[in-house]
Amino acid sequence: MKRTLIQQARPEEPVLIQGFVEHIRNTRKMAFLVLRDRSGSLQATIEKELHPEWTGLLDALTPESVVSVEGVVRENPQVKLGGRELIPSALKVDSFAVPLPLTKDANIDTRLDYRWIGLRGEKERLLFEVQTCLVGAMREFLLGRDFLEIHTPKLIAAASESGADVFEVGYFGRKAYLAQSPQFYKQMAMAAGFERIFETGPVFRAEKSYTNRHTTEFTGFDLEFSYIESYRDVMTLEAELLTYALERVQQKYGEAIERLYGTSVIVPKLPFPVLALPDLYRELEKRYGYRLPASEQGDTTTEVEQLSFRFSMEEFGHEFLFVTDFAAEKRAFYHMQENGVPQGYDLLWRGVEITTGAQREHRYDVLCRQAEQRSLGEDVKFYTEFFRYGCPPHGGFGLGVDRLTMLLLGTGIKEAMFLFRGPNRLTP
Ligand code: 4AD
Ligand code: MG
């Protein structure tokens, strides 16, 4: 018999339902099993007198075992779970579960140890449905604008962002590194004349950070496109992309998110507000008495980011804020500069950085000079070569998918990832 999903089971039709046993109530005369598959839950109601052959099985059955149940669905208004129940005619246990090693209120570390069990919940499933929808909508948006999706190597010969945060791996007797970003290869695609590309893939950062928004491996949504006039074009594209994707999420999952996460999906208004960093400092000082430590000049800190959310809501009624005009020494060497000012931005959402973007330096000699200023000459020679044989002006950004998901649902990053990786966590 072919399997039917719980959600699609029609009354009075014979079905085969397969799933986990979420809950068992086994009384003298009756047994009630709540079955769960990816589409929902359904109660199976067993009159034990009719099936004496199942007595042993029902006594031994444990929660979270996996079963196959054939039967007929009946409408029954007395059943709390959707007003219907399954009357089984055949019952088979495919996998017995031993008692669960954790309770629902276990701490996050125990939950991560047994991540596959924690992921069985409706709430957790929703997170991945939302993430699938979000990334799918972004992909769709870009495909509709003639972007190509590419896949670049993660084993590389030189650090792509900074030397400090890179994981080193042995590579047949020499050193290789795990890519901190697809940056160099995105730009190679520009030199290849692809004009518009994006990639979604793993990004590695050897950062010993123990915050609720840092991880050592995350999923990056990166794009790059040619013939821009300035980094403002990159900002415009990103704002449109996010608005499109969030609108899609709101339509499809807004209610479920409200119900299970208690938070609303707000489709942002275009254009997003933009502020230069020195102006942002000034506003934070004026409004909230914030004083930036001298050592942090030219960059945003966690505190600045959080305060700027308050500011952005009060001033613009907007959850997103573009910040521009960072200090050159705080930004990557490949950002184009004008009068010493990097032509790039960070995008903050609900007070957390979700993106860094920029126009890139495509002029070979200027790029080489900027690399040498950071003593990067030899390391990035393979990269600067991309710009010697003709390369259009271009820009792009890197967006953290895990941070996006986390902010959308109001969780920490550990809950927003299928499997979190941190300085102290490499398993499961
Ligand atoms: O700001 P980042 O380091 O920028 C780059 O990788 C550039 N190549 C992007 C560009 O095209 N100019 O990383 C991009 C984004 C961040 O804004 C953040 O959302 C996310 O990646 N991210 C992290 N997410 C989780 N854990 C970490 N340790 C992260 N580091 C960056
Ligand atoms: Mg950044």
Reported as a single tens digit per residue, the pLDDT across 315-332 is 999 999 999 999 999 999
| 183 CB near ligand 1 (under 6 Å) | yes
User: In this structure, what is the dihedral angle of CA atoms 168, 344, 196, 183, given to the nearest 10 degrees?
Assistant: -10
pLDDT value of residue 111 = 95
Total residues belonging to the chain: 428
Query: 60: CA distance to ligand 2 center in Å?
Result: 54
The amino acid at residue 87 is: I
Instruction: Locate all alpha helices (DSSP H) within 218-363, ordered by sequence.
Output: 231-261, 277-288, 302-316
CA–CA distance, 20 with 34 (Å, rounded to integer):
8
Query: pLDDT tier at 410 (50, 70, 90 boundaries)?
Result: very high
Quote the CA–CA distance of 298 and 293 in Å, as a whole number: 11
pLDDT above 80 (res 84): yes
Cβ of 360 below 6 Å from ligand 1: no
- Per-residue pLDDT reduced to its tens digit, 85-103: 999 999 999 999 999 999 8
Taking the mean position of all CA atoms in its chain, how far away is CA 393? 30
**Hey, which of 135, 180, 181 would you mutate to test ligand 1's pocket, going by the most ligand atoms within 8 Å of its Cβ?**
181
Assess whether the C-beta atom of 220 lies below 6 angstroms from ligand 1.
yes
| 165 within ligand 1 shell (Cβ under 6 A) | no
Which ligand 1 atom minimizes the distance to the CA of 400?
Answer: 19
Ligand nearest to the CA of 205: 1
The alpha carbons of the chain give a radius of gyration, in whole angstroms, of: 27
User: Mind listing the pLDDT tens digit for each residue in 182-233?
Assistant: 999 999 999 999 999 999 999 999 999 999 999 999 999 999 999 999 999 9
Q: Residue 1 burial by CB count (10 A; 0-12/13-18/19+): exposed, middle or buried?
A: exposed
Ligand 1, atom 9, lies closest to the CA of 398
Any atom of ligand 1 within 6 Å of the Cβ of 398: yes
Around ion ligand 2, residues with a beta carbon closer than 5 Å are 356
Q: What is the pLDDT of residue 104?
A: 82
DSSP β-ladder status, 30-37 and 14-26: antiparallel
Q: Measured between alpha carbons, how far is 37 from 3 in angstroms, rounded to an integer?
A: 11
Helix 401-409 / helix 122-143 crossing angle, nearest 10 deg: 130
Contact 131, 417 (CB under 8 A): no
- Amino acid identity of residue 322, one-letter, is F
The whole-angstrom separation of Cα 20 and Cα 45 is 15
pLDDT tens by residue, 294-309:
888 999 999 999 999 9
Ligand 1 neighbour 397 (Cβ under 6 A): yes
CA of residue 277 to ligand 2 center, whole Å? 14
Verify whether ligand 1 is closer than 6 Å to residue 182 (CB atom): no
Q: Tokens 């807004």 — which residue?
A: 254
Q: Any idea which residue has 């003709």 for tokens? A: 390
CA distances from 206 to 115, 216, 226 (A): 23, 6, 31
Expressed in angstroms and rounded, the spacing between residue 110 Cα and the centre of ligand 1 is 28
AA letter at 75: E
Q: How many CB atoms lie within 10 A of CB 199?
A: 19
- Kindly report, residue by residue over 114-168, the tens digit of the pLDDT: 999 999 999 999 999 999 999 999 999 999 999 999 999 999 987 766 667 999 9
Measured in angstroms, how far is the CA atom of residue 140 from the centroid of ligand 1?
22
Q: Measured in angstroms, how far is the CA atom of residue 281 from the centroid of ligand 1?
A: 22
Q: What is the pLDDT of residue 160?
A: 64
Q: How far is the CA of 16 from the centre of ligand 1 (A)?
A: 46
Distance of CA 416 from the midpoint of ligand 1 (Å): 16
Q: Is 356 in the pocket of ligand 1 (CB under 6 A)?
A: yes
